[in-house]
Structure 1
Amino acid sequence: MTDGENILEELNDRSREVFRRVVEGYLSSGEPVGSRTLTRSLTEKVSAATIRNVMQDLEFLGLLNSPHISAGRIPTQAGLRMFVDGFLEVGDLATDDRHKLDQTLQSNSPDVGGLLDRVSTALSGVTQGASIVLTPKHEAPIRHLEFVSLGHDRALVVMVFADGHVENRLFTPPPGQTPSSMREAANFLNALVEGKTLSDLQTEIRKEIDSRRQEIDGLAHQLVESGLAVWDNEGENNERLIVRGRSNLLNADGNEEDLERIRVLFDDLERKRDIEEFLQLTEEGEGVRIFIGSENKLFSLSGSSLVVSPYMNADRKIIGAVGVIGPTRLNYGRIVPIVDYTAQLVGRMLSDRS
């Protein structure tokens, strides 16, 4: 049993209702909720003084906080967590929201990346928050690799996978490459590649380069590393984090310090830090998960909340995730079904196309 569950069991009916009303009022208005406001909405008719005593007890338990000298209270991070776990009522997905998300699938384009871009944009528009979509990796074993020179500053990597999938990627090769050095690099890779996925190959190739550095030409060595690094570049389709709706948070009311923290968050996301950790957040269980503030290090500095859900392929394997970032006073009851539906939508879309 968690600390929050222990505290919840200790609260009497009056304390539970006061706590719930304070959190719901804060999530609705963003403002501290005072005792006089609560006297007009509580089921039990009690005095403002009695409510203030209850609020003080809740503050002592670490569930509420008084941001100013005024009598109004707001929930702490621990209070929000307890509310989400014990009091949150998740609503049904609104018909209009469902329609906007469904519209993203009205395309016959084979470009999965483009479809996920549209899903992310729609999710941001529906929630008025920032949306994030982690696109899937292609993890089939690789059959063959080729480097093709397109000029002094452009080259192409052609990857043929064992399942017949072919991917072509442009990248900037190191200076001084020649067709022969590219063939040498490709031969070096193809001697190692059979039966390995891209992630397997990346690990193996760096070991081989370290142990056999003298056996390959210096330029070919640089080309191999560049050709592998291209898979990690921002904007590539193999695995990337799509972020939409940044302006929804940057334009929100807040002081300069709050906005700077949000900018840092997006800078981190756009540099693709902790993407693996972001996906791992979803792997401890199916369904939507909610992270509030410092519960996840990627969002702790900005004080943001993350509502995230994995999506799966036809084999029920987690291959990516979708989520919404917003202030801690998100309308969780509305956001949760939206994220859940979007994850199911993306999973169906990718399964159908495969």
Structure 2
Amino acid sequence: MRSVTRKLALSSAAAVASLAAVAATVGPASADPPVGTTPAASDIVSVGSDTIQAFDNGLSAAYNATSPTSKYYSWDATPAGNITPKSGASTIARPNGSGAGITALNGNTHSTVDVARSSRGPQTGSDDWFIAFATDAVGWSAYTGGHAPSNLTSAELKGIYNCTYTTWNSLPSNPTASTATIKVYLPQASSGTRSFFLSALGITATTEPCWQTATPEENEGTDAAFTSNPDAIFPYSLSHYVGQVYKSKGGGNDLPGSLDAQRSLDGTAQILTASQDWNSSLSLTYSRNVYHVVRQADWSDATEGPRLKALFDRSSANGWLCKSSGTLITDYGFHSLGAGCGTRTGGK
């Protein structure tokens, strides 16, 4: 593991004040197609991942401002209920999470859904293209001013999530800490962040006795499960956290709330407060690409293909997102893939 010598120095009180100040300055995040707008049958619509939905709302606004032939619209992961994604589409249950988005993509045609947002990578056995556009990292967050230490090792983090360590003072690096029980939270089962985080820790179980039954929306420390919960621990997209805290890309429920990711992992600060960015020196174990997923058949289709390629391709003739979007990716806290933006990988 690589590490930096400078560790997180913010006190709990300072962290609370900092997060409160940021929360007070951000406006509400945009969500779904604008009120009164029904995407046309020829427009591109996406569903799925919570982690990249704020980015895709920004992508929609920026791309549509260029007056493309087919506009792009993104449906958020919440609230629960039914949506009709575009004109003439089938009505479907709103997909919440990467897995649900990919299921919706493969359970419908481009008359209903064109793209799944995914914060997990491709699996085998499908006819989809996973098109990478940025890099994210997943770290851990805990209640600001609570009982969690400022640093956890990977072994300790795994031990917390496989229920080896159930109290804070049972952690090898923290024997004099609180005797309180650790409250272990994960997002809902369809979450790409959940699946990536558990895989990074080497945990294959689908349930563990210490996991809380509540599954808060990923990257939302505003959930009631975390209110006045000094023993909560929760995985967090570090890009999304940077976007919320430093880039004014959060609002409403889409904020860290009671949690902060200004912690260290294996002695390496997850968040660099001076540069207002997540730390690329974290172990690559916790780094991941994020994707737009399309059907391979649509990509090669004479009508649907040009619409998708105009936005997502990486060729010299196409690919607005990778070629012409400027700082949009970093404006939302993600790290650029450079020439890797637009790379396609098959999977499901």
Short-chain TM bin: under 0.3
| Structure with more of its chain in helix, by fraction | 1
Bigger Rg, which one: 1
> Larger relative CO (CA 8 A, sep 6+): 1 or 2?
2
